[in-house]
Amino acid sequence: MRKAPTILHLDMDAFYASAEQASKPSLRGKAVVVGGLGPRGVVATASYEARVFGVHSAMPMAQARRLAPNAAYLVPRFGFYKAISEQVMGLLRELSPLVEPLSLDEAFVDLEAGGAAWDEASARLVGAKLRADIRAVTGLTGSVGLAASKMLAKIASEQAKPDGLVVIEPGTERAMLGPMSVRTLPGVGPATGDHLRRAGIHTVDEIVEAGEDELVRLLGKAHGHGLYAMALARDERAVVAEREAKSVSVEDTYDVDIHDRVRVGLEVQRLADRCVRRLREAGLSGRTIVLKVRRYDFSTLTRSETLRGPTDDPAVVREAALRLLEGVDSTGGVRLLGVGVSGLADFTQEDLFAQAAGEGADQAVEEAADDVPAEERDVVVERRWVAGHDVRHAEFGHGWVQGSGLGRVTVRFETPDSQPGRVRTFLVDDPALEAAEPLPLVEGVRVRQRQS
């Protein structure tokens, strides 16, 4: 490990929700939940105000609504978040050629490789300036951790939340880690954490006391060795510059084999949703859906299905994964399930919609018109307005959709640098109302866009 805390980990604070609050003055300081609003929707991000009520990411949206019924519930604007992420990643690349993005809102940076920092004092100055630059460019806040390894830098940024900076000085790692929960260490999820807890191991110090041989016995050779090394604060992983991903996948191992076929199907759907969240966070889509099943006898089956085009639609991935599951014999029980997407493309669902519209919309309109009586052909199909998304009205200017239904749409008219705006209601087919692009959060950026 290094002798100076020159590995930086940046984690933007409640990224999606914070971006929505910055974009919508009326939501600042209020509970905001971003995610799928349908019956199977899950929370992507909750603002800190919503977290007070127990709402957190990956929670079913129905449960979130019960916990925080008065929160604002918004559909994600992934193109908007990706544009902000590109601004942040640009700032990181000014510091070093070695930037390792983990998602749209999180990355490691090797400050030493870029000559930006070489000791604690210089690293601390870089971290403080980075936080100020992020606020100036995006209007948002990020938490920064600095340490001699990736594992410790990530732990430090978690301690820094929200909107802070924490430096872990080399030589203090063991004392700092010791009393922490085993869940603090990378790779210790709910299943591994429960396994260790049943063995009487609750803290990092207790991992060290148990010894490497006991960890290997409990968790297997690779996981046991790796976890013991991390408990000793040993992490030699290098920051790796961004490279093209070949696939995105998630999987879960179950302490007790699952025998109920219905439960297996529900787990597959849950994993498909998690996989799509990772896919969207990376700004990607994919065309090959992969299902992995490890059965009670440790035999592992992999099935795949290739779609006609790339997708990042959770419903499409869920349905494909369930089709693949139909061809798998789970008699006797399942101990591991995984869902993945490969054949990745660097465009997202919004691009696919636009592409589909360009290729087939005219033909679809013509075919639909042929089926409609002549006297009814002037009827306009009701437009769909998505909660949280941007609109523009010919008279009232820029706003965002608060909700729609029963032939009406409610819009709040405000911009990132205005006061909380007024709410007005229109017919969904009002010709003066149209979808709009999100406005940049910082006035200077908006000015530069208008000039260009």
Catalytic (active-site) positions:
106
| Closest to 157 measured CA to CA, from 149, 22, 417, 203 | 149
Residue partners of 143: CB distance under 8 A and separation at least 6: 10, 11, 12, 13, 157, 158, 160, 161, 162, 163, 164, 165
Considering Cα of 385, then 387, then 390, then 391, what sign does the dihedral take? positive
Max distance between CA atoms of the chain, in angstroms, equals: 82
* 412 within 8 A of 23, measured Cβ to Cβ: no
Is the bond preceding residue 25 a cis peptide, omega within 30 degrees?
no
Instruction: Say how many Å lie between the first and final Cα of the chain, rounded.
Output: 46
SS3 206: helix
Spatial contact of 118 and 163, defined as CB atoms under 8 Å apart: no
* Residue 308 burial by Cβ neighbours in a 10 Å radius (0-12, 13-18, 19+): exposed
Asked if residues 157 and 11 have their Cβ atoms less than 8 Å apart, the reply is: yes
Contact 254, 324 (CB under 8 A): no
Decide: helix, strand or coil at residue 185: coil
Question: Which residues make beta-bridge pairs with 288?
Answer: 306, 342
Nearest to 1 by CA among 241, 170, 224, 153: 170
Question: 364 — phi, psi (to 5°)?
Answer: -65, -40
